[in-house]
Amino acid sequence: MTNEDQFQLATYKKMPIAAERGGGVWIYTSNGENYLDLYGGHAVAGTGHCHPHVVEAIQKQAGELLFYSNLVYSSARARAAEKLVSIAPDALTKTFFCNSGTEANENAMRMARMATGREKIITFSGGFHGRTADAISATFLGKYRDLGRPNVPGHLEAEFGNVESVRALADDSVAAIMLEPIQSMAGVRMAAPEFYRSLRELCDERRIVLIYDEVQTGVGRTGQWFFAGSDAGDGVVPDVVTLAKSLGSGVPVGACLVTDAIASHIKENDLGTTFGGGMLAMAAVTATLEAIENDRMLENVRRVEEYLRRRLREVEQIVAVHGLGFLLGIEFKENAALVHKRLLERKIITGTSSNPTVLRLLPPLCLEEVHVDMLIASI
Ligand SMILES: Cc1ncc(COP(=O)(O)O)c(C=O)c1O
């Protein structure tokens, strides 16, 4: 730990543990301790740590071909793209692979500008979209946007959950409305289903591209493959969905899923990245989606979420539980940072949020009732 602090920039607030190995919902430290990981390695370990099917696929691919760019065809890339499109809502028919969430959002905004010939982007207070120039300029949360100064021009801020605030900004210079359908970092804030429906209608009426940033909510986290198309969002399907985090179970990968209409505007060399769609990441994507399917993790999320919510109701200090599936914000009467610290002392990893009273849970999708019991006992 000392060496890392000595040789790395001090830009992360670290927990005082050194993760050496992982398995399922567990992290094993260099001191031989076990931690129950309810933060899922920062929402990345959707299939759990080191899922055997994913590990095997990565090992096999590493022995065959680590990487070749998009300038050649690849069966690993073809399989990943087909699998990803097959689980997406029907209207999302094509994918573009990149390497991270922020990059997926940059490309989504760029596609919206190409498709509409307009420049402005509406996003929401409380949303987080990444740290590259355009994405951080779209992030109206705390200090983040200022970290990206001078910001990319043409970003407008609306109020999450308030469609009138969007309508007031949505003139014919607006290319896209982009949102985290559940605002995770802001303290796991969700809007009413009608909000998503109204945004869809507004976008259709004014020929604006609707982008869901599903970097956190995608790939099964809410108990459905995506928030797009789910009942919680009144079945609304956006024009673009962005993904990253758990898509590769820890191998860096991001993606944009788009409709035919968006795809028809994208020509050769309009978008590109060296590493996007590399074979190792593609093997990880296919295996991740297969593991979620084979282990029936979506059903598991829905069942265990219900149990978790029931057990959390027993805890007097809890005011409310926000979110959906395994993206939950537990609102305490007191400071959540203290709860986070105390749970860590009891060897349970959770997350905080920008709301000081909300503790975030983003566990692997394989979390079981017995682990919930451990959390409740410790709380
Ligand atoms: C909703 C959302 N969008 C985008 C990002 C940026 O992703 P990345 O860190 O992979 O660039 C994050 C990261 O936390 C996120 O939570």
Give distance in angstroms: CA of 317 to centre of ligand 1.
30
Per residue in 343-353, pLDDT (tens digit) is 999 999 999 99
Could you tell me the pTM of the whole model?
0.98
Range with the lowest mean pLDDT among 9-13, 79-83, 238-242, 258-262?
Answer: 9-13
- Which residue is associated with the tokens 């869809």? 200
Cβ-contact 191, 219 below 8 angstroms: no
CA distances from 221 to 46, 55, 83, 149 (A): 7, 20, 17, 32
Take atom 7 of ligand 1 and give the residue whose Cα is closest: 101
Ordered alpha helix ranges (H), the chain:
2-7, 40-43, 52-64, 75-87, 101-116, 133-137, 144-147, 163-167, 193-206, 260-263, 279-294, 297-312, 336-345, 369-378
Per residue in 31-59, pLDDT (tens digit) is 999 999 999 999 999 999 999 999 999 99
Give distance in angstroms: CA of 19 to centre of ligand 1.
22
Give distance in angstroms: CA of 129 to centre of ligand 1.
6
Average pLDDT, the chain: 97
Cβ-contact 288, 80 below 8 angstroms: no
pLDDT band at 334 (very low <50, low <70, confident <90, very high): confident
Per residue in 281-295, pLDDT (tens digit) is 999 999 999 999 999
Q: Which of 144, 211, 215, 241 to mutate to test the pocket of ligand 1 (most atoms within 8 A of CB)?
A: 215
Per residue in 206-247, pLDDT (tens digit) is 999 999 999 999 999 999 999 999 999 999 999 999 999 999
**Structure tokens belonging to residue 333:** 């009467």
pLDDT band at 1 (very low <50, low <70, confident <90, very high): low
Take atom 3 of ligand 1 and give the residue whose Cα is closest: 129
Give distance in angstroms: CA of 296 to centre of ligand 1.
26
Take atom 14 of ligand 1 and give the residue whose Cα is closest: 130
Give distance in angstroms: CA of 351 to centre of ligand 1.
15
Q: Which of 44, 123, 128 to mutate to test the pocket of ligand 1 (most atoms within 8 A of CB)?
A: 128
Distance from C-alpha of 325 to C-alpha of 151, rounded to nearest angstrom = 34
Take atom 13 of ligand 1 and give the residue whose Cα is closest: 130
Residue 2 scores a pLDDT above 80: no
CA-CA-CA-CA torsion sign (245, 118, 195, 235)? negative
Give distance in angstroms: CA of 63 to centre of ligand 1.
30
Which atom of ligand 1 lies closest to the CA of 127?
Answer: 1
Q: In the structure, which protein residues have their CB atom closer than 6 angstroms to any atom of ligand 1? A: 100-102, 105, 128-130, 180, 184, 213, 215-216, 244
* Mean per-residue pLDDT, 97-103: 98
Provide φ and ψ at 367, rounded to 5°. Answer: -60, 140
10 Å CB burial of residue 337 (0-12, 13-18, 19+) is middle
CA 123 to chain centre: 16
Which atom of ligand 1 lies closest to the CA of 252?
Answer: 10
Give distance in angstroms: CA of 276 to centre of ligand 1.
16
* Mean per-residue pLDDT, 65-88: 98
